[in-house]
């Protein structure tokens, strides 16, 4: 599988990572099956796992996905030191809702809890899950800078941010990577210049929901452009779309989620799909309705 830069000063990783959220939220499989899904990704050569403390059902379940990842890495027969685990802090799940809390004191407590859940002394990549409108961004990033000085995180990433927010954060601590939504359905990371900026600044760009997420990815098998390309290539529509997202810039890394081993292998297959210029332009020009 192609290897891409996760960002300045960070290890290189596979262009297709594994997004852990689907195996820990509503509709999740059992723990044993979830671990098998993670192991399938590792066995397929994936070297980046993206998780978060809030990939869970509610605040009583915080750290669920991180614990699954830790269990999978312990059970895996390969070299776990070769795997980069990225997690996040800055959200909470009261009553199953998604709410922001990027206060420094919360981020520091959350990082300690993530260290325990992942069973590590240092987190490879710790990401601010989202800016908090009630907290100055500089205060949130300052907390992550403190965690770095204390040796609890190796690198800092940001998620759900604008170019201006990246610049402000980078003035305090180097930003290794940015994780924003990117798919044919949602192209704001392209339109707002975030992908271009991260490319120029040698930051990795982690594309979450790269096939649209949930309801939208179920539209792909019937999409008039994607389905034709998939049929002609003998691959799934999802693999075609992941290949398109990977083609947006050389620093883009996709982190599709999966609830089954088959879905993991399908995502990994996208790394071998090279779209022609004509196919790429056809997807670029096509309509992807979110209705």
- Which residues does the annotation mark as catalytic? 55
Structure tokens, 128: 């601010």
3-state helix/strand/coil string of 231-290: HHHCCCHHHHHHHHHHCCCCCEEECCECCCHHHHHHHHHHHHCCCCHHHHHHHHHCCCCC
Residue given tokens 């081993």 in the structure block: 261
Structure tokens, 3: 């290897």
How far is the first Cα of the chain from the last one, in angstroms, to the nearest whole number?
34
Nearest to 73 by CA among 56, 87, 93, 54: 87
Q: Are 51 and 17 in contact (CB under 8 A)?
A: no
CA dist 26 and 202 (Å) reads 36
């Amino acid at each position: 599988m192609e290897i891409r830069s996760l960002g300045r000063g960070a290890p290189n990783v596979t262009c297709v990572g594994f997004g852990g959220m689907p195996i820990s939220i509503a509709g999740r499989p059992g723990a044993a099956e979830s671990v098998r899904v993670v192991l399938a990704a590792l066995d397929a050569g994936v070297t980046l796992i993206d998780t978060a403390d809030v990939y869970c059902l509610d605040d009583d379940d915080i750290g669920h996905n991180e614990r699954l990842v830790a269990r999978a890495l312990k059970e895996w027969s390969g070299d776990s030191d070769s795997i980069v685990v990225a997690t996040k802090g800055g959200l909470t799940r009261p009553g199953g809702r998604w709410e922001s809390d990027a206060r420094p004191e919360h981020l520091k407590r959350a990082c300690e809890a993530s260290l325990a859940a992942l069973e590590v002394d240092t987190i490879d990549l710790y990401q601010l899950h989202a800016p908090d409108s009630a907290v100055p961004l500089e205060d949130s990033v300052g907390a992550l800078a403190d965690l770095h000085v204390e040796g609890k995180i190796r690198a800092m990433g940001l998620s759900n941010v604008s170019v201006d927010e990246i610049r402000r954060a980078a003035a305090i601590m180097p930003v290794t990577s940015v994780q924003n939504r990117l798919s044919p359905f949602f192209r704001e990371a392209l339109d707002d210049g975030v992908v271009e900026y991260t490319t120029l600044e040698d930051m990795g760009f982690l594309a979450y929901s790269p096939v649209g997420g949930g309801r939208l990815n179920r539209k792909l098998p019937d999409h008039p452009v994607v389905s034709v390309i998939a049929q002609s290539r003998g691959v799934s529509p999802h693999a075609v779309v992941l290949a398109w997202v990977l083609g947006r810039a050389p620093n883009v890394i996709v982190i599709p989620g999966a609830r089954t081993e088959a879905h993991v292998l399908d995502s990994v297959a996208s790394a071998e799909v090279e779209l022609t210029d004509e196919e790429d332009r056809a997807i670029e020009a096509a309509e992807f309705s979110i209705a």
